[in-house]
Amino acid sequence: GTQVQWRPFDRSGVYMSDLESALHYSLRVEVAARSVIAGPALDALRSYISVLAKNFPGRPMVKRKLQSLDAWMKSWEEGELPYSSLRAALDQSNQTAALPRGVRWVGCQGSRPHFRGYPCSVWTLFHLLTVRVMVFMSPAGPLEVLWTMRRYMHNFFGCRYCATHFEQMAEENMDSVTMLSEAVIWLWARHNQVNNRLAGDLSEDPHFPKIQWPPPDQCRECHGVKGGGEHAWNQAQVLAFLRSHYSAQHLNMTYLE
């Protein structure tokens, strides 16, 4: 049948299986919705693959595949890219360079098939990338990953109202980000804004309620109070928490093919 086996997981973990599934789904399903990729969509795809090739903390086999795909994209000089050509380049693999097929959600599993999964993995992927470029002090600057995410969402993300909402938030203040650490915090704060908007929504998995994240049981020091007794985030602690939560060392490698 279509019953998918439940994979027990640690709610405070970040799983490589979710990240590889995000790559599979975005490159083999979502981008495939366009038979020809051109103009701004082609630029968006180039920058997505380039950011992944530089920063994805994957298994050697996956990293090599992303790097060869990036080189292939850079050598593609025509203004239009048929998806079939991209797909052929993506699927050309050997023992040392390949992107595994199919999705195996672990930390992003939903209690029902229509909950969580891919959108959860997209957030996870981009949080991880913002942290990674901060840790490695990327010379490309604090906006490269955010712009890549923004353009990916705008051009490809299947949930169109999600893309519209994200574009509105980005238009509001993404350009105020001037440091690598601010990019990490910007994305964290925007994600909490989305969590807040979606709390109680029909799209919410009842087993994974939308909360202001990280909750105190994951990071007590992240939470404080203002003079008037209202909740206040301790941003320095949040940054330290994000840095360790989304670090390569913290990635859980179980359930990989």
181 binding ligand FAD? (CB under 6 A): no
Q: Other C-beta atoms within 10 Å of 221: how many?
A: 12
196 binding ligand FAD? (CB under 6 A): no
H or E element in which residue 81 lies: strand 80-82
Which of residues 129 and 153 has its CB atom nearest to ligand FAD in the complex? 153
How many residues contact ligand FAD, by CB under 6 A?
A: 25
Amino acid at 139: P
23 binding ligand FAD? (CB under 6 A): no
- For 232, residues 6+ apart whose C-beta sits below 8 A from its C-beta are 223, 224, 225, 226
Residue 199 sits at the vertex; the CA angle it makes with 123 and 163, to the nearest 5 degrees, is 40
Contact 23, 52 (CB under 8 A): yes
Which of 7, 165, 243, 250 is in the footprint of ligand FAD by CB under 6 A? 165
- Report the distance separating Cα 177 and Cα 186, nearest Å: 7
What does the block give as tokens for 192? Answer: 């909490």
Which of residues 65 and 241 has its CB atom nearest to ligand FAD in the complex? 241
> Minimum Å distance from CB 162 to ligand FAD?
3
Which of 98, 143, 162, 239 is in the footprint of ligand FAD by CB under 6 A? 162
Helix (H, G, I), strand (E, B) or coil at 252: strand
| HSE-CB for 197 with a 13 A CA cutoff | 11
> Minimum Å distance from CB 139 to ligand FAD?
25
- Report the distance separating Cα 238 and Cα 101, nearest Å: 34
Which of 198, 239, 251, 256 is in the footprint of ligand FAD by CB under 6 A? 198
> Minimum Å distance from CB 160 to ligand FAD?
10
124 binding ligand FAD? (CB under 6 A): yes
> Minimum Å distance from CB 248 to ligand FAD?
16
151 binding ligand FAD? (CB under 6 A): no
Backbone phi, psi, residue 223, to 5°: -105, 135
Which of 5, 161, 168, 226 is in the footprint of ligand FAD by CB under 6 A? 161
Which of 45, 86, 122, 146 is in the footprint of ligand FAD by CB under 6 A? 122
234 binding ligand FAD? (CB under 6 A): no
